[in-house]
């Protein structure tokens, strides 16, 4: 369950991060919010929460304090604790993002402030990538899982870069027409 929710959640976060750049690359409008992007993001958050609950049952049999305290001097123990803190940061931010992923919050905060809050997603993805990479090492994952993890990260990074470039080109064209 821990694996399934982790990889599904990561895939959904990547999908949410790809929707905006795809709009830009296809020269379509890229509004502040779309139902599809919010729904995908909400599902990503729910899978992240489910992964956290499932993950807490895997190593320390639900003894939460042991996930966050170093019990030996080994690098593996320190890596384990660091990975768990990064996962905790990510899931807390996912809960915040889920709570503001609705039309009421969008109206309450206004588009610019709401979008700024939604950009916390980038902190989440960095925490998730570091958390996942550390667990790839800790658990000595087989190469197919490490490859899937890596490909998802590369896909998200590539699409974000392409979207940023497309936005820059679009702005340059718009400003040169004025």
The closest alpha carbon to 133, from 31, 46, 6, belongs to 6
- Give the residue numbers spanning the domain of 91: 2-177
Report the pLDDT value the prediction gives residue 28, as an integer from 0 to 100.
85
Helix or strand holding residue 158 (H, E): helix 143-177
The contacts of residue 137 (CB under 8 Å, 6+ apart) are: 79
Report the pLDDT value the prediction gives residue 73, as an integer from 0 to 100.
76
Average pLDDT of span 30-58: 90
Q: In 26-142, where does DSSP find H-type helix?
A: 35-55, 75-99, 103-109, 111-118, 120-138
Looking at the structure of the chain, the number of domains it has is 1
Per-residue pLDDT tens over the stretch 113-162: 999 999 999 999 999 999 998 988 888 878 888 888 899 999 999 999 99
Per-residue pLDDT tens over the stretch 46-57: 999 999 999 888
Per-residue confidence at 95, pLDDT binned at 50, 70, 90? very high
Average pLDDT of span 81-90: 93
Record the tokens describing residue 60, joined without a space.
């320390």
Does the pLDDT value for residue 175 go beyond 90? no
Query: What percent of the chain clears pLDDT 70, i.e. is strictly above it?
Result: 100
pTM of the model: 0.84
How far is C-alpha 12 from the chain's CA centre?
Answer: 8
């Amino acid at each position: 369950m821990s694996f399934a929710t982790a990889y599904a959640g990561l895939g959904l976060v990547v999908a949410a991060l790809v929707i905006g750049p795809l709009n830009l690359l296809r020269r379509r409008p890229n509004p502040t919010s779309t139902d599809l992007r919010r729904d995908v993001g909400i599902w990503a958050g729910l899978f992240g929460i489910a992964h956290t609950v499932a993950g807490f049952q895997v190593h320390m049999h639900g003894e939460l304090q042991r996930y966050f305290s170093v019990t030996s001097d080994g690098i593996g123990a320190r890596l384990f604790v660091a990975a768990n803190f990064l996962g905790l940061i990510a899931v807390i931010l996912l809960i915040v993002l889920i709570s503001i992923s609705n039309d009421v919050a969008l109206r309450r905060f206004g588009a610019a402030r709401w979008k700024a809050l939604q950009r916390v997603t980038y902190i989440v993805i960095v925490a998730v990538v570091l958390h996942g990479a550390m667990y790839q090492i800790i658990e000595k994952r087989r190469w197919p899982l490490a490859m899937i993890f890596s490909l998802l990260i590369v896909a998200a990074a590539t699409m974000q870069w392409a979207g940023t470039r497309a936005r820059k080109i679009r702005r340059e064209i718009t400003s040169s027409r004025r």
